[in-house]
Amino acid sequence: MYRPISSLPICAQAYVLTVEAYNNAFPVNQDLCTVDIIISVDCNPGTPSFQQGFYSNQVCESAALGTRVVCVLAEDPDGDVISYTMLENRNNFQTEYPSDYFFMTADGCVYVKAELAQSTLDTYTFSVQARDNSYPQKDTTTSVQIVIQRDTAAPVFNWQDGNCISVASDVVVNSSTPILSMTASDADIIVSGLQ
Ligand SMILES: [Ca+2]
Ligand SMILES: [Ca+2]
């Protein structure tokens, strides 16, 4: 052997070697024999595996297009480069699908694709496939859930109608000191994608 077997581009190769034996006398006597050599390599032994069997995150319905929502991550024991793909079942009678509102890049991150305020479902669930780029190709899947946070509550001033404040008659005009600070609160807890 003068070359590592692991460098073979295919998983099995067969060689037939012909070996000749001869003497140096005169006249030369010789003999031939053939040797069959079969090399089989365990190509791509490792299958990718996800770090988590389930990924979930929330995103506000007002999230901007392109907001990153969730990222999945798989590892391959052979060190193969991994590509990711969204999978969804379109064999049912849903009117909306995850891919209508989200897209996934090859590095495993999911982004907002369309106005989520237009979506009618509050939860989108789909599978993600991770495949190595080796031969024979091996893959695995995980589940991803995205929950849409709806903006259901209006902001409320922390101020009662009818309340009044007193302002001194000699208050400085155009001062940077406010005469009143008003605050408001909102019952919705908004998360705008992956932090
Ligand atoms: Ca592999
Ligand atoms: Ca609100």
For residue 78, the domain's CATH number is 2.60.40.60
Q: Are residues 66 and 114 in the same domain?
A: yes
Q: Are residues 84 and 126 in the same domain?
A: yes
Q: Are residues 113 and 31 in the same domain?
A: no
Mean pLDDT, to the nearest integer, of 58-87?
A: 95
Q: How far is the CA of 119 from the centre of ligand 2 (A)?
A: 17
Q: At CA 111, angle to CA 129 and CA 72, rounded to 5?
A: 35
Q: Are residues 141 and 61 in the same domain?
A: yes
Q: How far is it, in rounded angstroms, from Cα 107 to Cα 100?
A: 20
Is residue 14, in this structure, part of any structural domain at all? yes
Q: How far is the CA of 79 from the centre of ligand 2 (A)?
A: 46
Q: How far is the CA of 120 from the centre of ligand 2 (A)?
A: 18
Q: Are residues 58 and 144 in the same domain?
A: yes
Is residue 58, in this structure, part of any structural domain at all? yes
Q: Is the pLDDT of residue 77 over 80?
A: yes
Mean pLDDT, to the nearest integer, of 75-102?
A: 89
Distances from the Cα of 18 to the Cαs of 3, 13, 21, 31, 40, in angstroms?
Answer: 20, 17, 10, 10, 20
Count of structural domains within the chain: 2
Q: How far is the CA of 75 from the centre of ligand 1 (A)?
A: 9
Q: Are residues 9 and 97 in the same domain?
A: no
User: Which of the two residues, 183 and 67, has the higher pLDDT score?
Assistant: 67
Q: Is the pLDDT of residue 24 over 80?
A: yes
Q: Write the pLDDT tens digit of every residue in 39-70.
A: 877 789 999 999 999 999 999 999 999 999 99
Range of the domain at 32: 5-40
Is residue 164, in this structure, part of any structural domain at all? no
**What local confidence, expressed as pLDDT, does residue 74 receive?**
97
Mean pLDDT, to the nearest integer, of 160-188?
A: 86
Q: Are residues 59 and 17 in the same domain?
A: no
**pLDDT over 90 for what percent of the chain?**
51
Most confident of 93-97, 146-150, 156-160, 164-168: 146-150
Q: Are residues 24 and 75 in the same domain?
A: no
The bound ligand whose nearest atom lies closest to the alpha carbon of 188 is 2
Q: Are residues 96 and 133 in the same domain?
A: yes
Lowest mean pLDDT among 18-27, 68-77, 127-136: 18-27
Is residue 93, in this structure, part of any structural domain at all? yes
